[in-house]
Chains A and B, each alone.
Chain A
């Protein structure tokens, strides 16, 4: 049996080629602008109505659309009010890359080459990689001379990744504390929020908590537990 393509239907081939290019280009979609669903489809995270699209190609097509572009403006306008409008992460990355290039282009290049020479096989990392969110102040990103992609990976590991074997408690606290400096009260509040959510309470949008009907509670449990005071 062979998986070689037979026949000469060029149009089909071109469709495939285009899809492949589309797939390759799709990695340029920032991760927080789309949601990947458990069935492999994608939802646009920019548009408020969260359209679900079957393939990457469709998502790409959607992203070129007028509606999406207007939502994009809204989205970033809301997200980073103080900052420039068009500053999406890709843009930032490029800016940063330019900066480092300006430093010592030859050096950076050599470093890159040596690094890739040492990594003969693709880099395997058993840790879960968290998405890099631009609003999270990544520690010393621009100061380091190492290429930014590399820094993201490593700093992510150091600052936010607990040891995989460290047990659920450690993992939990580490995840909660992920967005670095946070006041203890705020942290406790957030922790409390997560505890309530995971034990089946749902905020009703008016500052009160209601019981999730799919979740069981103790019979005397009418009100959600209060925030611990200490």
Chain B
């Protein structure tokens, strides 16, 4: 078995985010890391939308990320610290839209190790040096400079090692142009390590250490170190030199402290806390991330606490001496992994878990009633300030980026009866969790829907000329023209859309096509002629000769081609005076014309050179429009069915600006052919000879395919309409053909207005719709239904298709406890008040009880270690409504769920939920567990409590088995049957190694996954009522999830991010017996407790993200089966089998060549990354193979020559294998 790995959706959680001018222009961009993915985002300051410019998988773990700018430079570089044992400096090349590796310096072994640098990065704010540090001991400083050609240079590393020292955070201190300085939170553990009494360990203090890079001596010295009173968790650099007082802010538990060299005394300010918080008051409060904003005149910091409250921190100075720290509550947003304040006034909040947000900073919070806390205010030690959290006041939400991270569970099924299965994904964490339903398709936002007097058959938009702008016509459309059976309606686009009559268009006839001609004229083609409307409203008409009418036409900015009845082509071209002239000859085609298309006129040229004509005889012909051989046929392609529509577009190019400043994209010409049988063909049109080559085919739907040219992200794209509408576009150098998640459309045209710069106007029955497609590049569109706690697992009731979800949170209160605590606090408030304040206190208490801040934004109260809250929810997955909700008691944590029938009770369905009682995670202890049994009543909509069965350990896995259930209770595997008062234990096996994390069954076989020891195959012997282990695996895998592939084969994933497939060898005997002599002694257990028969490893693969669900399924109707996995960081991927040896051979070679020709960006070796824990076996990495498309053309050519193919053939193969299984 050989498998091919494909990512359907990349990870969405963000671990780091930095901002800067990476493309070297004024625009600010954001670079984010998503574990093993580097992505460049550009927030559009006009629309407030965040666009993804580039996504690159680096095949390594990105551990730190920094923006770096040389002194006096205008472009930011990206410094990446990874697990490659190398420091990598990247530069973004906007012309090629790629990251270029400009430096890669090796300093250590690969892998995430304690003493190999990569975990922390710090740059000198003046852009002279960068420090890369390990968690322990090693720190290296590289001096960066520029050479004579202004290229970035890097020095050899300077060591700043200190043994026995742990590092918590490193920043570059802003010291102006003095020697670069780095501040480091460190802890020296040498003494603690050598003191057996433990006294030293208790007294060891964290230190703040300054390292100075002496540029004169080319040497790093440990300049100064001082012990800290509180344990700090991170540092913030304070602007220095001419911009501020320099120094650092140390964020620690409950306090923020300012420190600097010299006579500067420490300034310390407590972190304010929420008033009347349900949290444990003893719990410390820390800042988790910060952002700095600096202008020429001022600076401030935004720091976020672990509850999500952002504080604006300012420093009061007196002649470069800081006298006071001021904190002011700013707003509350979801807890972030990184925040970026952009110069354009936006705040980007990137989270590890949950959606990412872009806010506009509407106010700086300078002049409002919000109290300001200051370090100068006298407070007792241990006392702090209080504030009242409130909804957003200073920030305005402008964009939200969906993130599935973390995906905890996923099931793929067609519960909505849509013939394509949907993905039901349980994701999110705590109060921000949700159940999301993913469907393949592009999300469509409906901007406007308006009803029309009749059923129109076509719609176009045209632009209007604006005086003074000769080169570019106005970028927005002026008219929408709607054609009916016998009339044409012209609507003008302004503040509102209204009908106009003075446009010059002929309203009493249907329209075949219309367009802007030249810079300022319009053309309307209707069955009896052509109407040319000049800018000054003069109208020129061309009438068809005799009884002929126009059947088809093609129009662009300078050319008009019409086909008359009988297959005669007439060609018009606009001359420099703006006159439309007919070409001297006409062309008689051999058959009737069914469709035509003209490409857009390339920028700087007079005409498009090709006309594509589709004929009744199932052919498409390319006809030259060049003056030298005008109307001569160039090439022809036979089609499998009659063509319906044609569209020539230029795609796949990058946006470029030529010497004259004219913008345009240089791509390839593609002829798209929509056939009557619902198939779309895309062929490459040679720009010189007009030859057609490299045809790709895709079935779109049951209706004939109509094609429309639209613009998407500044490039041409094709909207193809069949029974479903599809968009074919090029995005990040890959072609995408994605269905729109929208109802059937009949006709469409591009649409641009101020509110919607890249929209579509479309017709559906008698309505006109304006649509926008904003999430280009997304594979799935999602519908989210909120949940209360982190969803752990769900099962599908097969009769009603309802989902039964268990949600469990650690460190949380149940609703009942929360209400109880609130009540208690309110009572305390009243009691604490004096006699005369009673009334006021009662009022306040009532207000407190009524106050209800949404937990999804403000977070749920933290209850402390060992506190659990759980619910069991029955949900309709289509409507998303909760049908039944069972709240478990405080400290009961649901861990497993199953829906099953029992053979002794007939047709009733039961839901079993495994619950742990008083579980403490570390050090682990548990007071026992229960299995709650519910009967599903009301057609699977209600849970009726039946009984609760106490068990000794955590019941972490339940599976139906032969009319009874198998339950994994800690390390015990048991068969239970339904009894009257509880579940009855019928059989037990005690030989599983640690803890049963999952159970799969097939026939008499039971495959148990252990939390550390991979899979154990157990056979149930009915006539002896015994569960006997007959085989196991040879590797210690920490299995998270498993899926059966066939009777002998099981696929599993582990918590380190590996996927494996293991299979029992064909001669495995599952009829093994317990020792018949009955003396179950020590020597009966076999070697190392293992079974005598061992499974074989079929494949091993390191995904790089913890996989939490695996399922064998087909994703597209008529497609083949694939193994779908979802990862904790929100990624979705598939593993597909190769069907032929040739394919496998081909992709193996592609992978091999790409490994050498296109090595991963952050310096990690691809093969060693995929073999992180187990050597990769029998899997070819499609993600690497697909990077072929983003290689430079000459390298593409080299690689494909090695494979005896051409680059288009290789990319066709890559596309084919993807579309065969997925999208």
Contacts and interface: CB of A to CB of B under 8 A. Distances in A.
A171 to B, nearest CB: 4
A63 B679 CA distance: 71
Contacts of B1029: 38
Interface stretch (A1-9, A76-84, A135-143, A192-200): A192-200
B1072 A128 contact: no
Given A40-B1086, A218-B980, A164 B986 contact: no
A128 B979 contact: no
A216 B1003 contact: no
Among B1029, B1071, B1086, the most chain A Cβ lie within 10 Å of the Cβ of: B1071
A217 B980 CA distance: 10
Interface string B964-985: 0000000000010101110011
Contacts of B278: none
Nearest to B1028: A38
Interface string A194-230: 1001111000000000001011111110000000000
A215 B985 contact: yes
Contact of A43 (B980, B987, B1073): B1073
Given A168-B962, A168-B963, A198-B1025, A128 B984 contact: no
Given A198-B1025, A217-B984, A128 B963 contact: no
A37 interface: yes
Interface in A152-184: 162, 164-165, 168-169, 171-172, 175
A84 to B, nearest CB: 27
A214 B985 CA distance: 8
A215 B1077 contact: no
B987 A215 contact: yes
A214 B1025 CA distance: 11
Given A50-B1076, A126-B1046, A215-B1025, A36 B977 contact: no
B1022 to A, nearest CB: 5
A65 interface: no
B1022 A198 contact: yes
Interface in B1055-1105: 1066, 1069-1077, 1084-1087, 1091-1093
A198 B963 CA distance: 11
Contact of B1073 (A35, A127, A131, A165): A35
Contacts of A52: 1075-1077
A38 B991 CA distance: 11
A186 interface: no
A61 B1171 CA distance: 46
A69 to B, nearest CB: 20
A128 B1022 CA distance: 16
A124 interface: yes
A164 B1047 CA distance: 6
B282 interface: no
A125 interface: yes
A39 interface: yes
A175 B963 CA distance: 15
Nearest to A214: B988
A168 B961 contact: yes
Nearest to A162: B1003
B1073 A215 contact: no
For the complex, would chain A's binding face be called helix, strand, loop or mixed by DSSP majority?
A: loop
A217 B987 CA distance: 12
B1023 interface: yes
A36 B1071 contact: yes
Contacts of A175: 1004
Contacts of A127: 1047
Contact of B1072 (A36, A165, A219): A36
Contacts, number: 120
Interface string A121-133: 0111111100100
A41 B1074 CA distance: 10
Nearest to B1048: A126
A38 B1089 CA distance: 10
Given A50-B1077, A122-B1066, A164-B1003, A199 B1024 contact: no
A44 to B, nearest CB: 10
Contacts of A194: 1022-1023
Nearest to A200: B986
A104 to B, nearest CB: 30
A133 to B, nearest CB: 12
Contact of A198 (B960, B980, B986, B1030): B986
B1002 interface: yes
Pick from B903, B1002, B1049 the residue with the most CB of A within 10 Å. B1002
A40 B1031 CA distance: 10
Interface string A49-83: 01010000000000000000000000000000000
A171 B985 CA distance: 23
A50 B1077 CA distance: 7
A41 to B, nearest CB: 8
A229 B1030 CA distance: 37
A115 to B, nearest CB: 17
A168 B1046 contact: no
A164 B1048 CA distance: 10
B531 interface: no
B867 interface: no
A219 B981 contact: yes
Interface string B985-1001: 11110000000000001
A70 B823 CA distance: 85
B1005 interface: yes
B1072 A216 contact: no
Contact of B1030 (A38, A169, A212): A38
Contacts of B1022: 172, 194, 197-198
Contacts of A171: 962, 1003-1004
B1025 A212 contact: yes
A35 B963 CA distance: 29
Contacts of B1028: 38
A74 B977 CA distance: 41
B1092 A36 contact: yes
A38 B1092 contact: yes
Contacts of A216: 979, 984-986
Nearest to B976: A216
Nearest to A44: B1076
Contacts of B1005: 128
A171 B1005 CA distance: 11
A142 to B, nearest CB: 26
A54 to B, nearest CB: 9
Contact of A128 (B981, B1025, B1047): B1047
Contacts of B975: 198
A198 B1023 CA distance: 6
A165 B1002 CA distance: 7
A38 B1074 contact: yes
A124 B1066 contact: yes
A164 B1046 contact: yes
A172 B1002 CA distance: 11
Contacts of A219: 980-981
B1002 A37 contact: no
A41 B1076 CA distance: 11
Given A126-B1047, A128-B1070, A197 B1003 contact: no
A218 B1071 contact: no
Nearest to B1074: A38
B1031 to A, nearest CB: 9
Contact of B1066 (A125, A169, A220): A125
24 contacts: A36-B1072, A36-B1092, A37-B1074, A37-B1092, A39-B1084, A40-B1086, A40-B1092, A43-B1073, A43-B1076, A50-B1077, A52-B1077, A123-B1066, A125-B1066, A126-B1049, A128-B1005, A128-B1070, A164-B1046, A169-B903, A175-B1004, A194-B1022, A198-B1023, A215-B985, A217-B979, A218-B984
- Please name the 6 residue pairs, one residue from A and one from B, whose CB atoms are nearest each other, closest first: A40-B1092, A39-B1086, A164-B1047, A168-B962, A126-B1046, A50-B1076
Interface of B: 903, 960-963, 975, 977, 979-981, 984-988, 1001-1005, 1022-1025, 1028-1030, 1046-1049, 1066, 1069-1077, 1084-1087, 1091-1093
